[in-house]
Amino acid sequence: MELLSLYAALAVSLSAVLMPRTAGVPQNDPMDKLLDAIAVVESRDNPGAVGDHGRALGMYQIHRSYWAEGTQILGVTWKYQNARDPQKARQVVRAYLSYYGRGKSLLDMARIHNGGPRGDEKAATLAYARKIEQVLNSGELGPQRAS
């Protein structure tokens, strides 16, 4: 009987380690949908994208200062070149937007992504928010999009 309990405990431990990273996150998490929309608008989901004359990297088109702040908020020391890594970039963008967008709407957070910590206050980010809103409402993300 003890051997059976040991096997059961081992199975539970292994399943926790092997579960996908989205386990425990609601399938319709609004932040995940926002991050997906940002990736579509910024790069059409291209992790190798380079923009702003070489100053923005990855699918989220992250600038060096954004990366520095986001990794500091996240508590990691990843190099800026890791902005091309979709998983790391997503974690950094989530941390940045959660920090600077605390208590704000998804579209305000999109404006922060586009215009910096106070981007939601800048008229120049309104058009970007409309693009994000269009993607969110268009069904372009699809019901099965992996986050």
Query: What's the pLDDT at 143?
Result: 52
Catalogue all structural domains in the chain, each as residue range(s) with its CATH number. 26-138 (1.10.530.10)
Unique residue bearing structure tokens 């990736």: 39
What's the burial of 36, exposed, middle or buried (CB within 10 Å: 0-12/13-18/19+)? buried
The pLDDT tens digits for 9-54 are 333 333 333 334 444 445 578 999 999 999 999 999 999 999 999 9
Mean pLDDT of 126-138: 96
Query: What's the pLDDT at 28?
Result: 77
φ/ψ region of 51 (left if φ > 0, alpha if ψ in -120 to 50, else beta) reads beta
Which 8-state DSSP code applies to residue 127? H
| pTM of the model as a whole | 0.78
The pLDDT tens digits for 62-115 are 999 999 999 999 999 999 999 999 999 999 999 999 999 999 999 999 999 999
